[in-house]
Amino acid sequence: MAPAVAAFQLSASQKETLAALCDTFIPSLNDAETTEVVRSHLSMAAGENKDLSTVEAETVAFCRLSASQMGVPEAVEATLRSHVPPDAAAELGLLLSAMSSRVGMLAIGGVPQTFASLDRPGREAVLDGLAKSMFAAKRKIFMTLRSLIVLKAFSGGGGMANWSLLGYAGPEPPERVAATRQAAGRTEHIFQMLNSSITADTSLDFDAVVIGSGCGGAVAAAELACAGHRVLVLEKGKYFSLSEMSGVEGEALDQLYERGGLVSTEDTGLAVLAGGTFGGGSAINWACCLRTPDYVRQEWATEHGLKRFATDEFGDALDAICKRINVTSTGISHNRNNELFIDGCQKAGYEVEDAPQNMADVSPGAPGAGFICAGDRYEIKQSMTVTFLRDAAAARVPAQFADRCKVSEVTHSKGVATGVRATIIGSDGQPHQLTIRARVVVVACGSINSPALLLRSRLPNKNGLIGKNLRLHPVSIVTAKVPAGAPDVVSWEGAPMTAVSNECARGPFGDNYGCKLECPSIHAGLGATGVAGLSKPGKHFKQEVLNLRRLTSIIVLVRDKDSGEVRLDKNGEPRLYYNLSEHDQASMLDGLEKAIRIAAASGVEAVGTTQTALGALRTLPPMSMVEARAAAVDGLVADVRRVGFPLYSVTLISAHQMGTCKMGSSAQTSVVNADGQNWEVSGLFVSDASVFPTSSGSNPMLTTLGIAHMVAQQIKRQLQPSSRL
C-alpha cells in the first residue's frame, strides 16, 4: 500500500505556468517549422512502402499538436499527486509559483516577466539558460521538468495518437494476448489475497512471515511452504491479474514500478527504477540471466569471509534456480538492436557473447518478448508469479498472500523476532491494522525498502550499517542513429538484452570494478525522453523524435566500487543518497568510449551520449571515409572524457539496487551473517539483493535467487516442522 499523500492541488497561476512549460518542450509548431519537419520526415519515408500523403498528414498533425492538447499538464499534476513525496511535490509547486511571478523569474531566468507571458523563443531561451547554467540547482530544474513532461507526453494517454507516426505499434489488445497465451499452453494462476477476509483490525499466527514478493521473498516462501511450514507473504504493492495489465508503458510505470518509476537519488538526481508490485522486480525486469562472476564470488569469500560463495553450495543453488526458472543459453534470437551491438563488437575486436534468458520462447519474433518490462501479459518470462510464488501457492501447506499491505515494523523482544505490524487494505477498501506473530521473519523488500523497514523497527544497529553500502550499478547510455535506408532498429521489438560484452569488466584500474556493455529495451516514453536529452525543446525535438525507430542504444553498466546510503525521511520512508565517485566515473568513461566505438563500427551515421554539454548526436563521415570517420570518433571520445559528469548535466539510471543490509562474517562490519540472519535479532532474516557485500558486477537476479535459496535452507533447519501438520 502506498503511503498516504497529502492532497496536492496546483493553483490557477501554477497550472498556467506548468502548461506553458509543457508547451515549450512540446509546442505547436508554426507553418515554417512544420514545413521543415514535414520535408525532413518525408525524405526519410520516401524509400519505404508507405502512402506518403498519409505520412504527410500525420506529420502535420503531430507538428501542430501541443503538450496541452495531449493532456500533459494534467498528467504531470496527477503524477505529482500520486507518486511524488509531498515535500518534493511542494518544492516543484514553489518553483511553479516562482516562475509565475516577475521577481521569481528574474532570479530563475534573468527576465522580469512571468514565464507564461513570454513568447515561445523567450521561454526556450529561459530553458536553455537553465540547462547550461553554472548552478547545479538550475540544471536540476531543467532536467526534472524535461524528463517528467516528455515521459508523460509519449508513454500513454494523449501521446498514444502519435505512436503510429513514430513506428511504435504499442501493446497488442488483450484478446490477442490471451489467444497467444492459450496457444502456447500457458495457464495463468490467480493468486488469492488475504485482503478479502479482512474487515477489521486482525491478528494472525504463522510459522514464517515473508515481507516482499520479489526474487528473494518468492524463493523463501516456496522453500518454506514446500517444507510444510505455514507461510504468509506480505506485499505493499498491488497484485494485478494479467487481464488488469494493459501493456501500455505509462500505465505500467504507474502500476508496477516503485513510486511510479520516479524514484531518484536526493543529492544527484540519478533515476532509480525498481519493481513495486506483486512479484517485485521480476514483474518488470528483462530476462537477462547472468551468473555471479567467479571473481566476485572469490572476492566475497576472501575479503568478506563468506566462504560458501566459493564452494559448490552456492554453485548448486544457482543450478537449482536456473533449472526452475528455465534459463537457456541455446537458440537465443536477437532483435535489431542486439544484432547491431554484436556486429559492432566483432568489427571493433571486442569480446561479446549471448546472454542466457529465462524465457519460455527465445525464437525470433516471440510474441510479447519486447513488452516484458510493462508487465508480462504473455507469461513468456519465467518470473516469480510463474515459478516460485506459484510453487508456494501450490505447496502441501499452501502459502497465503496479502497485497497492499505496508509493514511498519518488525516486532522483537529480548533479541528475538516475534512478528510484524502492518497496515492492510481490507475487503471494504479501508486500511486496517494487521499484527502477525511468527517464529521467523524474512525481510525481502529490496535494497531500498529492506533497510528502511529495519530502521523503522528500531533494531540496535550498533555498527550503524543498516542502509549503508548502497550500490546502484549506475548506467549511462550511448545512442546512435542508423543511416536512412538501413533497416529500422525498433528497439522495443523482440527480447531486450540478449547479448553482453565483458570487454570493460576488468576496469581501467584492473580491479574487476569495470563495466558491462548491454542493449536496453526502450519504448516510446523513455525513448522520447532520451531524444529530448539530445535535442533542444521545440522544433528540433519534434524533428528528432520522429527518428525514434532508427535509434540504437548501448548501456554502460558500471560495477560501482564506492557506495551511497538509504536514509529515512521524517515520515519513515526511504530516501536515497549516492554520488558517482572518481573511480566509478573512470570506469564509466572507459565504457562510454568502447560503446561509442562499437556503435561507430556497426555503421551508424551519428552517435552521442546523454551529456548535456555535447548536445545532439555527432554526425560521422561515411564508412568509406575511413580516416575521417576514425578521427571524428576519436574527437567525440575526447569530448566525452573532457566533459565528464557534472551534476545534473548527464542522465544516469539505475535498475539494480544492492548492498544496504550487507552480509558478512563479522558483526562489526555487516548487518546479517552468512546465513542471512541479523546479528542482533535472532529469527530475523534478510533475503534479497540488499545482503550483497558489494555490487555483483552482473545483472543481479540470479545472484539474489541463489542467495535466497541458501538462506532458505538455513531457515528450514532453524524451523522445526509445524506442530499443526
Distance CA 390, CA 309 (A): 28
Which DSSP category does 258 fall into? G
Q: What are the pLDDT digits (tens) for 419-441?
A: 999 999 999 999 999 999 999 99
Q: What are the pLDDT digits (tens) for 647-699?
A: 999 999 999 999 999 999 999 999 999 999 999 999 999 999 999 999 999 99
Distance CA 667, CA 671 (A): 7
Task: Give start and end residues of each alpha helix (H) in 484-551.
Answer: 524-532, 539-545
298 and 212 within one domain: yes
Q: What are the pLDDT digits (tens) for 518-556?
A: 999 999 999 999 999 988 899 999 999 999 999 999 999
Q: What are the pLDDT digits (tens) for 241-272?
A: 999 999 999 999 999 999 999 999 999 999 99
Percentage above 90 pLDDT, the chain: 94
Which of residues 654, 672, 689 is at a domain's end?
654
Distance CA 401, CA 564 (A): 33
Q: Residue 723: pLDDT above 80?
A: no
Which pLDDT band holds residue 5 (cuts at 50, 70, 90)?
A: very low
Q: What are the pLDDT digits (tens) for 136-168?
A: 999 999 999 999 999 999 999 988 989 999 999
Distance CA 235, CA 340 (A): 40
CB 210 within 8 A of CB 384: no
Q: Which residue has the cell 519460455?
A: 360
pLDDT at position 8 is: 80
Distance CA 336, CA 475 (A): 21
Three cell numbers at 429?
Answer: 477498501
Distance CA 401, CA 191 (A): 8
665 and 650 within one domain: no
Task: Give start and end residues of each alpha helix (H) in 65-190.
Answer: 72-82, 86-99, 102-109, 120-131, 136-154, 163-166, 174-183
Q: Residue 578: pLDDT above 80?
A: yes
Longest dimension (CA), the chain: 80
Angle at 441 between CA 440 and CA 446, to 5 degrees: 150
CB 251 within 8 A of CB 214: no
Three cell numbers at 252?
Answer: 505500467
Strands 499-501 and 271-272: unpaired
Distance CA 149, CA 143 (A): 10
204 and 307 within one domain: yes
564 and 525 within one domain: yes
pLDDT at position 46 is: 73
Which residues, including other chains, have CB under 8 Å from residue 61's CB and lie 6 or more apart?
none
Phi then psi for residue 173, to 5 deg, are -65, 155
645 and 682 within one domain: no
656 given a catalytic annotation: yes
Q: Which residue has the cell 535479532?
A: 681
Q: Considering the domain boundaries, does residue 348 fall inside one?
A: no
Closest CA to 677 of 451, 440, 392: 440
H or E segment at 533?
A: none
Q: Residue 6: pLDDT above 80?
A: no
Task: To the nearest 10°, report the CA torsion of 138, 144, 150, 154.
Answer: 180
Return the CA Rg of the chain. Answer: 25
Q: Considering the domain boundaries, does residue 351 fall inside one?
A: no
Q: Considering the domain boundaries, does residue 186 fall inside one?
A: no
139 and 210 within one domain: no
505 and 406 within one domain: no
Task: To the nearest 10°, report the CA torsion of 226, 227, 232, 236.
Answer: -60
Strands 468-470 and 353-354: unpaired
Phi then psi for residue 144, to 5 deg, are -65, -50
Which pLDDT band holds residue 48 (cuts at 50, 70, 90)?
A: confident
What is the average pLDDT score of the chain?
A: 95
H or E segment at 708?
A: helix 701-718
Q: Considering the domain boundaries, does residue 286 fall inside one?
A: no
609 and 509 within one domain: yes
601 and 571 within one domain: yes
Three cell numbers at 719?
Answer: 524451523
Mean pLDDT of 707-724: 85
Residue 627, burial from CB neighbour count under 10 angstroms (0-12, 13-18, 19+): exposed
Phi then psi for residue 28, to 5 deg, are -80, 120
Task: To the nearest 10°, report the CA torsion of 515, 272, 371, 234.
Answer: 120
- What is the sign, positive or negative, of the torsion defined by CA atoms of 107, 110, 112, 117? negative
Task: Give start and end residues of each alpha helix (H) in 349-493.
Answer: 388-393, 446-456
527 and 400 within one domain: no
DSSP reduced 3-state for 566: strand
Phi then psi for residue 593, to 5 deg, are -60, -50
- The strand pairing partners of 565, in sequence order, are 468, 577
Distance CA 62, CA 76 (A): 20
Which of residues 114, 143, 166 is at a domain's end?
166
Q: Considering the domain boundaries, does residue 365 fall inside one?
A: no
Q: What are the pLDDT digits (tens) for 18-37?
A: 999 999 999 999 999 999 99
Per-residue HEC secondary structure of 323-384 comes to HHCCCECCCCCCCHHHHHHHHHHHHHCCCCEECCECECCCCCCCCCHHHHHHCCCCCCECCC
Cβ neighbours, 10 Å, residue 598:
29
Q: Considering the domain boundaries, does residue 684 fall inside one?
A: yes
Strand order in the sheet with 574-577: 468-470, 564-568, 574-577
Q: Considering the domain boundaries, does residue 258 fall inside one?
A: no
203 and 129 within one domain: no
Which DSSP category does 482 fall into? P
497 and 612 within one domain: yes
Phi then psi for residue 58, to 5 deg, are -65, -35
Which of residues 610, 631, 654 is at a domain's end?
654
pLDDT at position 721 is: 61
Which residues, including other chains, have CB under 8 Å from residue 380's CB and lie 6 or more apart?
184, 186, 359, 360, 361, 366, 367, 368, 369, 372
Q: Which residue has the cell 564508412?
A: 623
Mean pLDDT of 195-217: 98
In whole angstroms, how far apart are CA 475 and each of 352, 481, 516, 585, 681?
A: 19, 20, 10, 11, 36
Which residues, including other chains, have CB under 8 Å from residue 16's CB and lie 6 or more apart?
100, 116
Q: Which residue has the higher pLDDT, 49 or 253?
A: 253
Which pLDDT band holds residue 7 (cuts at 50, 70, 90)?
A: low
The CATH number of the domain holding residue 312 is 3.50.50.60
H or E segment at 318?
A: helix 312-324
Q: How many domains does the chain have?
A: 3
pLDDT at position 725 is: 36
Three cell numbers at 234?
Answer: 506480505
Angle at 577 between CA 572 and CA 580, to 5 degrees: 165
In whole angstroms, how far apart are CA 227 and each of 231, 325, 394, 442, 497?
A: 10, 20, 12, 16, 36
Among 412, 473, 540, 656, the one annotated catalytic: 656
CB 706 within 8 A of CB 318: yes
Q: Residue 51: pLDDT above 90?
A: no
Domain residue limits at 302: 198-239+293-325+382-462+660-718
Cβ neighbours, 10 Å, residue 637:
17
Which pLDDT band holds residue 4 (cuts at 50, 70, 90)?
A: very low
Q: Considering the domain boundaries, does residue 333 fall inside one?
A: no
